[in-house]
Amino acid sequence: MLTDRELERYRRQIAFFGEEAQERLANARVVIVGAGGLGCPVALYLAAAGVGEVRLVDGDVVDLTNLNRQVLHGDRDVGRAKVESAAEKLRAQNPEITVVAIRATLDEENAALLVDGADLIVDATDNFAARYILNRVALGARVPLIHGAVRGFDGQATTIIPGRTACLECIFPVAPPGEDVIPVVGTTPGIIGLVQANEAIKYITGTGDLLADRLLVWDGRAATMTTLPVNRQKDCGACGIDRHSRR
């Protein structure tokens, strides 16, 4: 049951999708992997929307070069763990929710534990090695994964429903090359992060159409957003039905 204070706090969105949807948000547990350019806006808007548990996972500390885009961190946070810096702002934004800060770098060994109990996983990582691990963990646990990635003025996002839609490896069987420094204009992860947060809110409340089997592509230079159809691949190494029976 929502308290009077919660009913008031979320009044504008309850007016749109109703109290039951708000209760679903309050009962939801969302894990956000990465507290950087994407993770900051995703976490801030999910906290503001009243998602009951926001679990943040990141092993890094705040660096001065992060501040053009990682908007939960400020000048005085340089040198602090990103998850601590972010959690402080989220708790101040909304004391009604639980914010869990886990300072860890996701890897093969710890991934399942880090996302344990989640209703939804948000990919706010900055590399495909971590994304492929997250994809497999999400498939194994049958928990939806909301993917986002950015570079420069360009971004992409999609929502993966295990067993139903294309998974990350169906869509991106080969990772784009890594770069020492990926250039990013701060607004790009802001836009893609909010697309991801929007997907999370829709999934939890059962509202609208998800980016299921659709890859959203944002071109900030042209200010255009397009969706490209994607589909499940039978021979996908992560989710394909043929993957065990290859001869």
Q: Which residues bind other proteins (CB under 8 A)?
A: 34, 36-39, 123-128, 148-152, 154-156, 171-172, 174-179, 182, 184, 189, 215, 217, 219, 226, 228-231
Cβ burial of 246 (10 Å; 0-12, 13-18, 19+) is exposed
- Which residue number, 48 or 161, has a Cβ lying nearer to Zn ion? 161
- Which residue number, 29 or 214, has a Cβ lying nearer to other proteins? 214
From the CB of 236, what's the least distance to Zn ion, in Å?
3
Distance CA 1, CA 20 (A): 9
Residue with tokens 């929007």: 198
Distance CA 202, CA 90 (A): 21
Closest residue to Zn ion using C-beta atoms:
236
In the list Zn ion, other proteins, none, the entry touching 41 (Cβ below 5 to 8 angstroms by class) is none
What DSSP element (H or E) covers 145?
strand 145-151
160 binding Zn ion? (CB under 5 A):
no
239 binding Zn ion? (CB under 5 A):
yes
Instruction: Give the x-and-dash track for 168-207 against Zn ion (CB under 5 A).
Output: -xx-------------------------------------
Tokens of 11: 């009044």
DSSP state of 240: -
From the CB of 183, what's the least distance to other proteins, in Å?
8
CB 208 within 8 A of CB 201: no
**Separate counts of helices (H) and strands (E) for the chain:** 9, 8
Contacts to Zn ion by CB under 5 A: 167, 169-170, 236, 238-239
